[in-house]
Amino acid sequence: MALENDTLAPDFALIDQFGQTVHLSDFRGVKPVTLVFFPLAFSGTCQGELCELRDHIGIFADANVELIGISVDSKYTLRAWGEDQGYTFPLLADFWPHGQVAKEYGVFLEEKGFANRATFVIDRDGVIRSSFITAPGQPRSLEAYRDAVAELVG
């Protein structure tokens, strides 16, 4: 079961596509964060979703919201994919222990071995203010991101 809105987002430390450790707590008191869990790099729906976010990065940048993608892929896979697609936001490897952060957020699909398509919009205090999850194979809408960020900063 996915974490509910108005609960404190679990802290984590994951490696990004460049090998740097990113802690969610580093953003507390600094800026809001949007966590975008996605199943796998180089897959069609995931690539379409993240390319749409890349093409509309202003939604987040204009509101001073950090956009972060998370999958069970290795940092090497995420780096190759990120460079191939021109992603300018961090891609975090929830690689080992396998899917641990996705499990803590309640969005890991045990039978598939990866995270569901789930988004958590977290305020400056580390509290989940908005979240949305789509059925397997269904992309999240850009409007859902716009609405969540507008509600967060509005």
Give the residue numbers marked as catalytic.
46
Phi, psi of 86 (to 5 degrees): 70, 35
- Paired sense of beta strands 114-115 and 108-109, if any: antiparallel
- First-to-last alpha carbon distance for the chain, in angstroms, is 28
Tokens describing residue 147: 């609405």
